[in-house]
Amino acid sequence: MNKKLYQERALRVSPSVLLLGLFAAIGVLLGVTFLARATVFVWFLAPTVALLTLGSVALLLRIRYASHYLLALLMVSVTFQGNNFGIRLKPDAMIVPLLGLVLLLHSPGRYLCLRSYPFFIPAIGFLAANFAAAALHSPVPETSLAQSTIFVGRVATFFLVVMAIHHMPELRGRLPIYFIILLIGHTLASIIAVLLYPIMPTPLVLYNQDGRGSLSVNGFFLEPNLYGIFVLCVLGIIIGIGLYAPAHQLRLLGAAGLIGLIGLLLGYTRSTWLGLGLLIAVLAMIVATRGTRRAFARYSVITTLLAAGAIGLLALLMLLSIAGYEIGLLNRFLQIVDVGSDSATVRTIVWGLAIDAWRKHPWIGNGPLSFPYTSGWIFSSMLQSLHDSGIIGLICMLWICLGTMAYTWYGYFRATEPQDRGILLGYLLALIGLFFTSQFSSFFWGGFSWVMFGLAVGHAGVVIRKWKQNQHAGIDAATTV
């Protein structure tokens, strides 16, 4: 009875009201930070106000509801990077410790069994390799040590999200909806910014990135590549949910998917365009080998709508080009696999230099962000890991990335409810898209990737635990008979 009462309290507020409150909290934080930017107290005042605000929420509300609120706020925070707005503050850096404190107060026993959580060993190995490289080999030890410390926060984010979902399994159906709402918010804000650019330029839009006439949007992310990867991941979630969702939800999912498709195109990132094709191909294999006739029919509708939307957007760009408008986006799409482009050439050179540098310390690498060019970034998460933390760090990173996919896949086939199957399939597609596109960026170093890992592993863990309980119940019933 008490458990049911807690579940009702945790789910009392609707997603729209909750997200409205979250955006209001972010707005207050940004306003305070902007006002304090000119003072010497900016690095003290803004975090203090934010922590007091969040702490007040945690105290005023029941801890279980506070966990829900902070988890949703964490999902919002990892899609916001304030560097383009003159804000170096990392919202998730404040929310993660507070979420950890709330979970510790409510369920301290979970911390004692943390080592039994999936992927504890590779996560600790990844941290150890980075700290060892920073201490032993890095030519910029302070920078490498600072980045290694950030990795501690990323790993903590992963485990806290898993812990929160295991603590509140009734929320697992809501959490992907928050990312869908955020996708709509980022994309609509970017479209409005494009329309208002002639009279009010904003950091949400980047003009002439790839020559005169080019246009790309990055939402509230640092750059278009990161925004594009976020959009691709959420599109994967939408597609997975759409395959199993009730008929009355398909229109809303279709509208969200169309907005996401527009955002993906405006993101000006070729790897995400190729990634969408990869997700459709992977989904086709899953449906062909494991799907039902109903799933195949849904898949046909989804692919038809995606193809029609993409063709319609490209046709609009071609008409604008014929009418005399200079459309850099169309040229970039037509050169989607051009390995001779400037960006591809730069990446190839950087990758070669990174491999040469890695050979000096092959086992634990040269230290995080120690690459002497391009501010330490190598434009590939796997090569970044290889250069920074060596073979040991790369193995641990691959263990985490591929392991979360396998664990999610296992949970997908153990799920008995359509909602769980759709969400886990969506997470699986998102993880595949994330892994593919991150070979051309360092997106794994951001907080969003680790939240996505946590959501997938946490949801799959709940489903697997439920499946095992049912199996044991069946065995006990058979034994009794």
**From CA 466, how far away is CA 472, in angstroms rounded?**
10
**From CA 229, how far away is CA 212, in angstroms rounded?**
24
Burial class of residue 32 in the structure, from the number of CB atoms within 10 Å of its CB (0-12 exposed, 13-18 middle, 19+ buried): middle
Q: How many CB atoms lie within 10 A of CB 137?
A: 19
DSSP label at residue 81: -
What is the full DSSP assignment across 146-194? HHHHHHHHHHHHHHHHHHHHHH-GGGTTTHHHHHHHHHHHHHHHHHHHH
**pTM of the predicted structure, to 2 decimals:** 0.84
Asked if residue 303 lies in contact with residue 261, where contact means CB atoms within 8 angstroms, the answer is no
Partners of residue 207 on adjacent β-strands: 215
Q: Annotate 174-186 with b (16+ C-beta within 10 A) or e (fewer).
A: bbbbbbbbbbbbb
**From CA 175, how far away is CA 451, in angstroms rounded?**
11
Please write the tens of the pLDDT for every residue from 427-449: 999 999 999 998 888 777 788 99
Partners of residue 272 on adjacent β-strands: none
Residue 215: enclosing H or E segment and its boundaries? strand 215-217
One-letter amino acid of 227: Y
Among 393, 395, 375, 383, CA closest to 352: 383
**From CA 427, how far away is CA 421, in angstroms rounded?**
10
**From CA 280, how far away is CA 266, in angstroms rounded?**
20
Burial class of residue 323 in the structure, from the number of CB atoms within 10 Å of its CB (0-12 exposed, 13-18 middle, 19+ buried): exposed
Which stretches of the chain score pLDDT less than 70? 1-65, 82-91, 107-116, 208-214, 290-292, 310, 313-342, 473-481
Q: What is residue 8's predicted lDDT score, i.e. its pLDDT?
A: 37
In Å, how far are 100, 233, 321, 322 from 380, measured between CA atoms? Answer: 31, 17, 33, 37
Q: What is residue 433's predicted lDDT score, i.e. its pLDDT?
A: 94
**From CA 162, how far away is CA 404, in angstroms rounded?**
12
